[in-house]
């Protein structure tokens, strides 16, 4: 499974569209097998869904993210887990895989 986490300074960015890089985490079963960081293209509506779909991402773990973005990712068969508190990308993925990742209120209103 492949995860994308929007990051700033190596940690989950609170607002999806304002990230510096995406952490791309690959797993096999419940084990993290790789972590890399990629710079996103310039942010415009519907650009990130296509970009992350090309990277074959299955799940996005995010803090705040707009509903239009969630819908666009869902159209690409990418699941969005939102409302997450900032932490390291690997820790977030491990918690997700162990059903211990707490989502909360999505603080993005657009």
> Is 109 within a domain?
no
> Is 16 within a domain?
yes
> Is 108 within a domain?
no
What pTM, to 2 d.p., does this model score?
0.92
> Is 105 within a domain?
no
Tell the burial category of 96 from Cβ atoms under 10 Å away from its Cβ (0-12, 13-18, 19+): buried
Domain residue limits at 25: 2-97
Cα–Cα distance, 28 to 64 (Å, whole number): 27
CATH number of 54's domain: 3.30.420.130
> Is 106 within a domain?
no
Looking at the structure of the chain, the number of domains it has is 1
**For residue range 78-102, what is the model confidence (pLDDT) as tens digits?**
999 999 999 999 999 999 999 999 8
> Is 78 within a domain?
yes
Share the mean pLDDT of the chain.
92
């Amino acid at each position: 499974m492949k995860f994308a986490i929007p990051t700033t300074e190596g940690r989950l960015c609170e607002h999806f569209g304002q990230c510096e890089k995406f952490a791309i985490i690959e797993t096999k079963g419940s084990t993290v097998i790789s972590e890399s960081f990629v710079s996103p293209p310039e942010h415009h509506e519907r650009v990130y869904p296509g970009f992350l779909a090309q990277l074959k991402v299955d799940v996005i773990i995010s803090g705040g993210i707009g509903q239009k973005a969630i819908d666009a990712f869902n159209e690409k068969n990418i699941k969005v887990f939102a409302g997450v508190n900032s932490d390291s990308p690997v820790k977030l993925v491990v918690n997700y895989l162990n059903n211990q990742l707490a989502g909360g209120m999505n603080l993005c209103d657009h």
